Amino acid sequence: MNDTELSRSLASRGYAVREGFVDEAHIAALAAEARELYREGRFRRAGIGASRKLARDIRGDEIWWIDIPTAEQARYLARLAELASEVNRALLLGLISVECHLARYAAGLGYDRHRDRQQGDDARVLSCTLYLNDDWQPEDGGQLRLHPPGEPALDVLPRAGTMACFLSDELEHEVLPARRARWSLTSWLRRRSHDPLDARGIPLVFPEADSSRRRPRR
Ligand code: OGA
Ligand code: MN
């Protein structure tokens, strides 16, 4: 599946599962950085809802929000901007920015069935999770379980290189507990909020339009 097929799948089914969205070396670098940030004690227990209430029985991950991206993370955000540009062109979603966090679920912990758009936030449109786990086997568990309306549930293994994308306000999903630590990089692509004071997210920097089609300056 390429980016065009991904956006077609989003349009027709509300989700897409994409292999090879970024190359293996890049994933390895992102995964190594995530482990390093975790060792430095930078991750925090994730909360739920706009108030970020702690509820470990609902949601067990520890997260680190990307405010100032590292070089590898910036490269990933640039890749997401390419995807957003294609999705905007094909589906007119008006994506302009991205919120992003690294997450680690300790063995045995998951995230109950939920949707990603929080009350009072109308701007999250597309959820995209890139998995960072080498050698992940079905018996390790930790599947992302998607619940598309009117379709059977679909399980996605959190294998390095797999990216799951879905419409944030429509698709219910859950994270099943795993038997080993589970690492991921989740991004929410955002449109302009109706709240004029809402400046959440990092602006997407879209790739240059094809310069050969521009008229030469005189
Ligand atoms: C989330 C979430 C899915 C996953 O962070 O909201 O649902 O597979 N994550 O990590
Ligand atoms: Mn979610």
Which ligand has an atom closest to residue 142 CA? Answer: 1
Looking at ligand 1, which atom is closest to the CA of residue 164? 8
Arithmetic mean of pLDDT, 41-64 = 83
How sure is the predictor about 58, in pLDDT bands with cuts at 50, 70 and 90?
confident
User: How far, in Å, are 93, 106, 156 from residue 141 at the CA level?
Assistant: 33, 12, 10
Ligand 1 pocket list (CB less than 6 A): 103, 111, 116, 129, 144, 173, 175, 184, 186
Mean pLDDT score of the chain: 92
Spatial separation of the C-alpha atoms in residues 160 and 140, rounded to whole Å? 13
- For residues 125 and 80, is the Cβ–Cβ distance under 8 A? no
pLDDT of residue 211 exceeding 60: no
Query: What are the extents of the domains in the chain?
Result: 3-47+55-206
Ligand 2 center–CA 111 separation, angstroms: 8
CB under 8 Å to 191, separation ≥6 — which residues? 93, 94, 95, 96, 123, 125
User: In this predicted model, what pLDDT tens digit does every residue of 166-205 receive, in sequence order?
Assistant: 999 999 999 999 999 999 999 999 999 888 778 789 999 9
Spatial separation of the C-alpha atoms in residues 104 and 155, rounded to whole Å? 19
Query: Which CATH topology does 3-47+55-206 take?
Result: Jelly Rolls (2.60.120)
Ligand 1 center–CA 210 separation, angstroms: 35
Mutate to test the pocket of ligand 1, among 15, 52, 115, 116 (most ligand atoms within 8 A of CB): 116
The pLDDT assigned to 60 comes to 92
Residue 148 exposed, middle or buried by CB count within 10 Å (0-12, 13-18, 19+): middle
